[in-house]
Amino acid sequence: MSEQNKLWRITLDTNPEDCNLHCIMCEEHSLYSDFKQKLFETTGVKFRRMKFEIVERIFDEAAKLGVKEIIPSTMGEPLLYKDIERIFELSQKHNIKINLTTNGTFPKKSVEEWAKIIIPNTTDIKISWNGATTETSERIMTGSNFQMALENTKKLIVLRNAHFEKTGYFCRITFQLTFMQNNMHELADIVKLAAEIGVDRVKGHHLWTHFAEIENLSMKATKESVAKWNEYVKQAYEAQEKYCKPNGEKALLENILPLSDNEKTEVPESYECPFLEKELWISATGKVSPCCAPDNLRQSLGDFGNVETTTIQEVLASPIYRKLVENYKNVELCKTCNMRKPLC
Ligand SMILES: C[S@@+](CC[C@H](N)C(=O)[O-])C[C@H]1O[C@@H](n2cnc3c(N)ncnc32)[C@H](O)[C@@H]1O
Ligand code: SF4
Ligand code: SF4
């Protein structure tokens, strides 16, 4: 199979500096973060926003390469990108679906208006979810309103179900968690809540500890926290068995897997990178990256060029990219990477 056939998804960091929340763990928007200040000091730029011509060009090339999905912004809130509606238009034009991660606030429009734009063109709406209670959730997603996010999600599910009944097109709705010591005691209750309201999937990632203030929140921090996580995983699968969605199906659980004691240092050799050759990330300024590891860390993987001056196909065929694909298990960052998974 040629490289371009394997590439199925591209993430565009359309508007990383735009957000209406300050989640404690967020690389850019946490109140612990000095990222935006440093960005301004070093570049003189306050807000990086992808030019719409670049978005258009990427959609064009992606369509030719057979890419199936585009993700708008995994840093910042995608629904705040000024041309987000035009992205959904491009999705329709090129028949490339959108895969959305959003913070549940549905800014500037009603959920009903967003649903009309999003649901027909989107494979999966991941709503970032960090607790089963107001207290836990709002302590993590600073500035959020748990009850409002819950009401928004319930409305979205009703509208998604209506769209499915009318057209047969199914847009999955997912709770996207960040696994931390201050929210995972509620993991089983999150699974229960998901099932009760008809969320199709609960998935997440372990914490990237961007700041000293959150280092002790990683589930991988100590032997004790690893043991606790493994207990929460068991409880999550028990909740999955016990509580069904209104249609009688179980919510899917993904990436909710037991850890071993030494995971803080090295990931088992057999775990694979889920992204290389299959996905690419393009920053607001056009810089291409092979994955979504935190900005400062992924720079250590090399310079993969800029879509202002190179094509996606050229990046995939470049010696630096090919070398990473062949050799990533020996690269320091990849050895301890949270995102590597056992091959299913
Ligand atoms: C950075 S956000 C961007 C999209 C949108 N603003 C949102 O929160 O849904 C993408 C996802 O990364 C998660 N996230 C944020 N900081 C993280 C960290 N330090 N480690 C792991 N996941 C993190 C968020 O909770 C969210 O689910
Ligand atoms: S909503 Fe997303 S981008 Fe905004 S602070 Fe939270 S994690 Fe960061
Ligand atoms: S750090 Fe390495 S292993 Fe992890 S996602 Fe990036 S390329 Fe893959």
Taking the CA of residue 141 as reference, the ligand 2 atom at the shortest distance is 6
Determine the Cα–Cα distance for residues 8 and 276; give it in Å rounded to an integer. Answer: 11
Task: Give the Cα separation of 332 and 310 in Å (integer).
Answer: 27
Q: State pLDDT tens for residues 132-143.
A: 999 999 999 999
- Rounded-to-integer distance, Cα 302 and Cα 33, Å: 24
How does pLDDT run across 213-227, given as a tens digit for each residue?
A: 999 999 999 999 999
Beta bridge partners of 9: 69, 279
Instruction: Write the residue with the smallest CA distance to atom 1 of ligand 3.
Output: 334
CA 58/CA 25 separation, integer angstroms: 30
Distance CA 107, CA 97 (A): 22
What is the layout of strands, in order, in the sheet containing 201-206?
A: 252-254, 201-206, 172-179, 122-128, 97-102, 69-72, 9-12, 279-282, 288-289
Q: Which atom of ligand 3 is nearest to the CA of 297?
A: 1
pLDDT of residue 264: 55
Residue nearest to atom 7 of ligand 3 (CA): 291
So what's the pLDDT on residue 152?
98
Give the pLDDT band of residue 338 (cuts 50, 70, 90): confident
- Helix, strand and coil percent figures for the chain, each rounded to 5: 45, 15, 40
Q: Determine the distance separating the centroid of ligand 3 and the alpha carbon of 264, expressed in angstroms.
A: 15
Give the ligand at the shortest distance from the Cα of 329: 3
Mean pLDDT of 108-120: 98
Give residue-wise pLDDT tens across range 41-85. 999 999 999 999 999 999 999 999 999 999 998 899 999 999 999
Q: What are phi and psi of 9, to 5 degrees?
A: -145, 145
3-class SS letters over 172-189: EEEEEEEEECCCHHHHHH
Whether 279 contacts 312, CB under 8 Å: no
Please give the Cα distance from 207 to 179 (Å, whole number). Answer: 6
Q: Which residues line the pocket of ligand 1, CB cutoff 6 A?
A: 19, 23, 25-26, 74-77, 101-103, 128, 176, 178, 205, 207-208, 210
Per-residue pLDDT tens for 247-297? 999 999 999 999 987 655 678 889 999 999 999 999 999 999 999 887 778
Structure tokens at 236: 């999550």
Q: What is the model's pLDDT at position 39?
A: 94
Determine which residue's CA is closest to atom 7 belonging to ligand 2. 26
